[in-house]
Amino acid sequence: MNQEITVFGKTFVPFIDRHKIQQRISEIATQINQDYEGEEPLLIGILNGSFIFAADLFRGLTINASISFVKLASYKGTTSTGNVVTAIGLDENLQGRHVIIVEDIIDTGKTLSAFIPEIYQRGPASVKIATFLTKPSALKYDVKADYTAFEIENKFVLGYGLDYDGIGRNIPDLYQLK
Ligand code: IMP
Ligand code: MG
């Protein structure tokens, strides 16, 4: 993992290698196993970016847990509230469920701040957030993750599910814009 890679003319350098990623995810899985002992949480992964992280995190769980995925569609609103985010494919009954939202990265927090009220409307017993990455210095909305694999600086990253214009999600390590 000492090679630079180029995507659409932009150069990315190695940032966090796959072993460190897997190590950190197993720590989070262990924490979730303890926190939800005796419960059956429902993980909700947000597509597309979270699918790799969600798969690895889910495999680390030894408690009884379920997983589902949603895709978020944002519409340019004509009201002062701006974009409205709607979940596609959220057909699970969340009444009384312990929900863990799984995200690839919290950047400004806009996506999750719009999505979380929609989850609460469905009457879950609890809602927590697990994210692979956070960029604390980019945060603009009131969103706080309960489980974070890595806090990173405000630079664009690629790999491990995260893309640059659709490319790079399959790279097992995390790269950073040079
Ligand atoms: P937010 O709504 O500003 O928190 O943005 C979250 C979404 O933006 C993530 O789910 C990603 O799809 C995308 N995103 C933010 N930062 C990056 C990055 O550094 N690399 C790739 N995608 C990113
Ligand atoms: Mg995403």
Q: Summarize pLDDT for 39-71 with one digit per residue, the tens.
A: 999 999 999 999 999 999 999 999 999 999 999
Q: What's the distance, CA 27 to chain centroid?
A: 16
Return the SS3 of 53.
helix
| Residue 33: Cβ within 10 Å count | 14
**Cross-strand bridge partners of residue 129:** 101
Residue pair 149/132 in contact (Cβ under 8 Å)? The answer is yes
- Tell me the CA–centroid distance for residue 94 and ligand 2, in Å: 22
CA of 134 to the centre of ligand 1 (A): 9
Q: How far apart are CA 2 and CA 10, in angstroms?
A: 17
Number of the ligand closest to the Cα of 49: 2
Amino acid at 36: Y
**Confidence band for 75, pLDDT divided at 50, 70 and 90:** low
173 assigned to active site: no
